[in-house]
Amino acid sequence: MVELQEFGGYVLSDDNSLGGATLPKSFGAAADAMGKLGMDIGVGNNIGELLGQAGWKHIAKRVITMPIAT
């Protein structure tokens, strides 16, 4: 058994209250910049699929909301 803990790499809100907030814009800019370097900072969002493609079986995914600045 292997346990991985990855961040999704994106800032979202359960109630869509972020509007034009700076934090999601900053994360978006960082994701774009890393994408130009061939890196995906949101790899946590599809890590299960990648593990399946690598041959792993019985993959479980648990998503936990992480509060920021509350």
Q: Domain ranges in the chain? A: 1-70
Tell whether the model's pLDDT for residue 10 goes beyond 80.
Answer: no
Q: Look up residue 32 and give its two tokens.
A: 């774009």
- Residue 46's SS3 state is helix
pTM: 0.63
pLDDT of residue 7 exceeding 90: no
- Say whether pLDDT at 70 is over 70: no
Which is more confidently placed, 66 or 47? 47
Cα separation, 53 vs 55, in Å, equals 5
Q: CA-to-CA distance for 35 and 44, rounded, in angstroms?
A: 15
Question: DSSP letter at 58?
Answer: S
Residue type, 4: L
Q: 5 pLDDT band (50/70/90 cuts)?
A: confident
Q: What percent of the chain has pLDDT over 70?
A: 96
